[in-house]
Amino acid sequence: MPLTPLDIYNKEFKRSFRGYNEDEVNEFLDQVVHDYEAVIRQCEELKETAAGLKERLNQYQALEETLKNTLVVAQSTAEEVKAAAQRQAEVILQEAEMKRKAMIAEAEAEVAALHQQYQTLRREMERFRAVVRGQLQAQLALLDEPMVRLAEPVAE
């Protein structure tokens, strides 16, 4: 068990012939008690300070851990957002490519339909021209025939 200031204060020494001066010993013991009490108080204060510092250290360590975790979460979230944006950009590009191809196919189909319509109209025009040419030639042939005399009236 450790020595206390009270133990020092209550310590009694045996008296002997030609021993130490009792007043000097008591004075010295009083000084030792006083200094020992100061050391004990200082030790207690240091223990309290150390406990406070240890508690603050634990708080700082917890804060550091929280900040590390927050940083990891933030980095993870940033990566996820970046990946999602990349995927969304790819989807948008794919949709744009599909629309482009659809528009080209639609335009090509429209061109083919217009070409077909043009060919049909051209054939119809050629037929119409042939019909009109035939009719004109028939009319010209009629104009080139000699005139027939009008028939005389029939007697009754």
The single-letter DSSP state of residue 154 is: P
| Torsion region of 150: left, alpha or beta (phi above 0 gives left; psi -120 to 50 gives alpha) | beta
In three-state form (DSSP H/G/I as H, E/B as E, the rest C), the secondary structure along 58-109 is HHHHHHHHHHHHHHHHHHHHHHHHHHHHHHHHHHHHHHHHHHHHHHHHHHHH
- Cα Rg for the chain, rounded, in angstroms? 62
**Helix, strand counts (H, E) of the chain:** 2, 0
Tens of pLDDT, residue by residue over 35-50, are 888 888 999 999 999 9
pLDDT tier, 150 (very low <50, low <70, confident <90, very high otherwise): low
Count CA atoms closer than 13 A to 46's CA, side-chain side. Answer: 6
Residue 149 within a domain = no
pLDDT tier, 156 (very low <50, low <70, confident <90, very high otherwise): low
- Whole-model pTM: value is 0.45
Q: Which residue range is the domain that position 95 belongs to? A: 5-143
Report d(CA 113, CA 136) in Å as an integer.
Answer: 34
Residue 136 within a domain = yes
Residue 121 within a domain = yes
Residue 155 within a domain = no
Task: Count how many domains the chain has.
Answer: 1
